Amino acid sequence: MAKPLSNDLRERIVEAVEGGQSRRAAAGRFAVSSSSAIKWMQRWQASGSVAALPSGGSRSPLDEYSAVLLGLIAAEPDLTLDEVVERLSGQGIAASRTAVWRFFDRQGISFKKKPARQRAGPP
């Protein structure tokens, strides 16, 4: 994704439009797309700011159920991801194995493979 254009440029376009130029003319003068100038003016009129909105990051739909998920793992730390998904579906919470893994990864909780049994030592 491209970096947002500077606030200085955005403010110069707002000043040009408020000085009497049309949005499209101001966009042509500063070599930006007319749709950008139009959107910046709409944002300026709505909020008084032309700063770029934050980009990046994401939010998991499971974040609102974090207490439930963390409670499941606290009560039974040996649950697999598939078992966590089953428990969630039993409570009416839709989740996939990948979504559950991503949630726990963000929380810093990992699931290590554990051997089913230990090897027998020499007799």
Whether residues 33 and 69 share a domain: the answer is: no
Give me the pLDDT at residue 96, please: 92
Q: pLDDT of 62-76, one tens digit each?
A: 989 999 999 998 998
Is the per-residue pLDDT at 119 higher than 70? no
Q: pLDDT value at position 22?
A: 96
Supply the range of the domain harboring residue 95: 61-107
Average pLDDT over residues 94-119: 80
- 41 and 67 share a domain? no
Q: For 12-51, write each residue's pLDDT tens digit.
A: 999 999 999 999 999 999 999 999 999 999 999 999 999 9
Q: Is the pLDDT of residue 87 over 70?
A: yes
**38 and 16, same domain (yes or no):** yes
Check: pTM over 0.85? Answer yes or no. no
Given a cut of 80, whether residue 92 has pLDDT beyond it is yes
Q: Is 2 exposed, middle or buried (0-12, 13-18, 19+ CB in 10 A)?
A: exposed
User: In angstroms, rounded to a whole number, what is the distance separating the alpha carbons of residues 98 and 87?
Assistant: 15
Of residues 12, 10, 36, 15, the one with CA closest to residue 24? 36
Looking at the domain assignment, is residue 98 inside a domain?
A: yes
The total of structural domains in the chain comes to 2
Determine the Cα–Cα distance for residues 115 and 39; give it in Å rounded to an integer.
Answer: 58
Higher pLDDT, 8 or 110: 8
Percent of the chain whose pLDDT exceeds 90: 64
Separation of alpha carbons 51 and 4, rounded Å: 9
